[in-house]
Amino acid sequence: MSAFPPKTDIPFSSGRFPQPIASVSGKPTTDASPQSATKRFELEPGETAVASCRFDLNANLHFTDGSILLTDRRVVADPPASADGEAASDSEPRSWRLDPTTTIDVRLRSAVGRIELSQHGRVVARWLFTPARAKGVHSLEDAFDARIHGQSSSRAAASKAANEDQPPVAATALADDEPAIAEGMAASWRALARVLAFARPHARMAIVGIFLTLASTIAALIPPYLTMPLVDSVLIPRQAGQPVPFSHVWWYLAGLAAAAVAAWLLSWARSWTLAWVSERIAADLRVKTYAHMQMLSLDFFSGKRTGDLMTRVGDDTERINNFLSVNLLEFASNVMLVLLTAAVLIWINPWLAVVTLAPFPLVVWLVYSVRFRLRRGFSRASVAWADMTSVLADTIPGIRVVKAFAQESREVDRFLSANDQVLEANDRVNVVWAFFGPLVSLFSEIGLLVVWAAGAWMVFTGSVTVGMLSA
């Protein structure tokens, strides 16, 4: 991609990369505000504008200029690239009444993004845009989610997850049906299975890591078994005046220390083993991706930005490595810990187990409710980072040309705009993440209060001992 505005009248050849039909300025125009968009479209009496954005590609992937306005009743817009599965041929604005089945889905991969308006489970309109319009488009999507649904449409999020890695398609492929939520979940599992397939050459070490995970989890459950007799058989009887040798305390303390050391050693071995496996999976994935890129045609590279390709080989594989070595490891450990803890609690006292595990469904519901927002936020952050990388990849190799034409200020503005998009995308994720973590902690504290309340009542009724409750 050149560091300067593209020339005019370049024929559309690849069918995938936007081509201009008129001269385009180096700095994109700002997105329309709801007030300015209201002047473009005729509103009904009492109708209120909520949000708006602009799109800049037509059905032929040529540059154009159009607006989309969201009101409290309708979506009003300039002619889309396609409507009801067919290419739009008129030039008059169109409108769609909002109903409970209305969804807006935004996708941006590489050089072309899509805004899809769906009703009753099918796409009724589709607009195309370039990354320069991404900020305004995402603002419209957020306004729609907040006003109509209060959160991300689960159907839109599932469809987006199922198609996250699909390249931009030509106008002839714009009428494809969207996958359902089940299909999106199945696609996510298939993607995970493809990644884990790279672990086959390291299957022995992976199996060792799984056994170490199970062993470290079991070792972490040993202290409660030692705490209960320490409290019930040693401390409480001694406090009541019964003769108990202090040497009993040393035995229990030695057992607790041995359990702690064993848990530490097993956790260290588990972390190192699975990190060793994940590093080699990521390395194999980088080589596989780079080797596959060498086999692609020049037409593929003409429709891709350098920053996107660099992100795929570098940052994306590193994220996969972090997922396998940290996130997946913690998830597996926590699942094992919950299951084993539940089994131990049920064996000790079923009613105390029910009270202790009562907050767990709330935590599961909380994770499920925010996962679509987090997935969309991380996807936006990844796209924004690729945009910023593309600016660097365009400018640094052509720095002599930039200086020859005194374009330093323009390139700084381009980078500033891309950097602002990265900052905004990360801020959106941090808002959700900062709220999610403390809320989980709050549920845990509430659950602890419930356990103490129910446990105290059971101690008074003689159902459990103080040692059981404290463990």
pLDDT per position as a tens digit, 333-385? 788 888 888 888 788 788 878 888 888 888 888 888 887 778 778 878 877 88
Q: What number is the average pLDDT over the span 101-106? A: 88
Rounded Cα gap, residues 460 and 453, in angstroms: 11
The reported pLDDT for the residue numbered 131 is 75
d(CA 471, CA 468): 5
Architecture of domain 349-471: Up-down Bundle (1.20)
Which of residues 31 and 265 earns the better pLDDT score?
265
The answer to whether 117 touches 96, Cβ cutoff 8 Å, is: yes
pLDDT (0 to 100) of residue 12 = 35
pLDDT at 358: 82
Q: What is the pLDDT averaged over residues 293-318?
A: 77
Residue from 99, 32, 100, 123 nearest 69 by CA: 32
Least confident of 70-79, 215-224, 460-469: 460-469
Does CATH place domain 1-160 in 2.30.29.30?
Answer: yes
Q: Name all contacts of 263-270 with Cβ < 8 Å and 24+ positions apart.
A: 263/216, 263/219, 263/220, 263/222, 266/212, 266/215, 266/216, 266/219, 267/216, 269/212, 269/216, 270/209, 270/212, 270/213, 270/215, 270/216, 270/329
State the pLDDT confidence band at 3, using cuts at 50, 70 and 90.
Answer: very low
Residues of the chain above pLDDT 90, percent: 7
Number of helices followed by number of strands (H, E) in the chain: 17, 9
Tens of pLDDT along 147-199? 765 544 444 443 444 344 433 333 333 334 344 445 555 666 777 777 778 78
Q: Could you give the angle at the alpha carbon of 365 between the alpha carbons of 361 and 368, nearest 5°?
A: 140
Average pLDDT rounded to a whole number, residues 37-59: 83
pLDDT higher at 437 or 27: 437
For residue 376, CA distances in Å to 142, 371, 434 come to 11, 8, 16
pLDDT digits (tens, 9 = 90+) for 384-407: 887 788 788 878 888 888 888 888
pLDDT at 446 over 90: no
Structure tokens at 77: 């817009």
Distance (Å, whole) CA 47 – CA 43: 6
Percentage of residues in the chain having pLDDT higher than 70: 79
Domains in the chain: boundaries: 1-160, 179-348, 349-471
Residue 361 C-alpha from the chain's centroid: 22
Instruction: Name the residue type at position 261.
Output: V
pLDDT value of residue 254:
92
**Three state DSSP letters for 104-129:** EEEEEECCEEEEEEEECCEEEEEEEE
Rounded Cα gap, residues 419 and 409, in angstroms:
15
Tell me what percent of the chain is helix, strand and coil, each rounded to the nearest 5: 65, 10, 25
Residue 31 pLDDT level (bands cut at 50, 70, 90): low
pLDDT score at 471: 65
Distance CA 374, CA 358 (A): 25
Q: Is pLDDT at 200 greater than 70 in this prediction?
A: yes
* pLDDT at position 66 over 70: yes
pLDDT, tens digit (0-9, with 9 covering 90-100), for 107-161? 876 567 889 899 888 889 989 888 778 878 888 888 888 876 554 444 444 344 4
Does 13 score more than 60 pLDDT? no
The pLDDT assigned to 89 comes to 58
Q: Tokens representing 214?
A: 């199970």
Question: What residues pair up with 70 in beta bridges, in sequence order?
Answer: 51, 75
Q: What pLDDT is attached to residue 172?
A: 33
Domains 179-348 and 349-471 share a fold: yes
Average pLDDT value over all residues in the chain: 76
Give pLDDT, residue 188: 66
Strand partners, 117: 104, 125
SS3 53: strand
The whole-number average pLDDT for the span 26-52 is 70
Taking residues 78-83, what's their average pLDDT? 76
Return the SS3 of 252. Answer: helix
Q: What is the pLDDT of residue 35?
A: 63
| Distance (Å, whole) CA 32 – CA 464 | 66
- List the CATH code of the domain at 179-348: 1.20.1560.10
For the record, the structure tokens of 68 come out as: 């989309």
CB-based contact 223:256 (threshold 8 Å): yes
Q: What is the pLDDT of residue 21?
A: 36
In this prediction, residue 307 carries a pLDDT of 66
Q: Are 87 and 110 in contact (CB under 8 A)?
A: no
